[in-house]
Structure formats: structure tokens, C-alpha cells
Amino acid sequence: MSESTRDVRRLKVVVADDQAAVREPLAAVLGLSEGIEVVAAAADGTEVLAAVASGPVDVVLMDLRMPVMDGTEATRRLTEEHPEVAVVVLTTFADDDSILAALSAGARGYLTKNAGRQDIVRAIRAAAAGQSVLDREVQDRLLATVRTKPPAPVQPLPRDLTPREREVLTLIGRGLPNRAIAEKLFISEATVKTHINNLFAKANIKDRADAVRRAIASGLA
């Protein structure tokens, strides 16, 4: 494979964090990861929007607490104006309000800064492929939040879900990431992703947070 072919397939990423001591090393490390090209580093949400406007950009790795325009508002603006760009939140904050605000704004992934480089790279690739990745702590808090809220009416699951798709939804509802689901069901992670894509399309599920809600409301988790 030629160098030019590899370049075409590299994911173009913007790293956003108001602290240069975090932003610059993170951008440098991600730039060394196979299949990823860091095209810009931003110190606030306005710089993120400017970088995306000058594009192309596939994924924004977004801090939440930034001056001028915070990460939640920048995520909301990106979702409205550039829906093709995926946002993965990387933040020190894992409180309910921050998680729900970011996911509601359109973030496809949510990691805390305890995440390792491979976890971040995996989340970037998943987001670019339309998948969602949530840090385990974030999954646990989201599950707790959903379970303690009064149940809201939800669309019933379609009857044409396969038994395997129901199994996958059940495990998502229990907070398992794709790798753990694959190990639990003795299938590949790629097969899990295929089941998730089919499940989300059939059941009109927006993202992983929505999948958790649907699984709980349907009595699967």
C-alpha cells in the first residue's frame, strides 16, 4: 500500500482542550497513532468551529470546560452545523449533569481523562464509524441516572429484532462495552458492531445512551 493511500484513509482529528499542557502532548501522541492525523489543536469552542469550518475533519476530541465557548455548546453547534463530524468528549468531569448535557448535545463518546491512549484511539475510530463509546464510570453513572428517574413513554422494540440483537441490546443496557459483549457472546467485536448497526437502524436508536434507556424500559436490563 502506498503512502498516499494510507494518508487518504487516516482519520482527521481536532484536539480541543484549554490547557496547553494537556492539549499539545495529547495531539502529539495521537498523531503517532496509526490511521489518525491531528489536523488542529483548539483552546476553546470557537477555535474548534473554525478548525472544522476549514476542514475536512472526521472527529473532534472535546474537553468540556473551556473559556469563550465550552465543549457542550461547541458540540451542539457541530451537531447542528456539521453533523458529519463526530464528537468524543475527553474530560475530568463525570458528574450526571455534564454527561447528560454532552450526550444530549450530540457527543458520540464520553471518556474521562483516566482513559489510556488506546482507549482514546478506539473511541475516535468508533465515533468515526458511527458507534458510541462510553467510559465504564460514565456508563455506570448513566445507568444509575436512568434507573432512578421516573419512566417515560418509549417506543416499543420492533418485533423483527433477532434473538442475537436482543442479546446485544440487553448487554448494552447492562453497561458492557463492545469488547466485553463480544467475549460474553463468543463472537468477534466486528460482529458485535454489525449487530449494533442493525439494531440501531431497526429500533430507531440514536446512540448508546438511547440504547441503554430502551433496554431498561423494555425490561431487558
The answer to whether the predicted template modeling score (pTM) of the entire model surpasses 0.85 is no
Whose CA is closest to 149, among 91, 109, 68, 209?
209
The amino acid occupying position 168 is: V
∠ CA 142-12-194, rounded to 5°? 55
User: Among 65-79, 158-172, 203-217, which stretch is predicted with the lowest mean pLDDT?
Assistant: 203-217
Question: Cα 110 to chain center, whole Å?
Answer: 6
Residue 186 clears pLDDT 60, i.e. is over it: yes
Residue 6 clears pLDDT 50, i.e. is over it: no
Cell numbers for 219, please give them: 425490561
Question: Is the Cβ–Cβ distance between 112 and 94 less than 8 Å?
Answer: yes
pLDDT of residue 3: 41
> What is the average per-residue pLDDT within 58-82?
93
pLDDT of residue 4: 41
- pLDDT class for 221, splitting at 50, 70, 90? low
pLDDT of residue 218: 84
The amino acid occupying position 87 is: V
Q: Running DSSP on this structure, what letter comes out for residue 63?
A: -
Q: Running DSSP on this structure, what letter comes out for residue 53?
A: H
> What is the average per-residue pLDDT within 125-141?
82
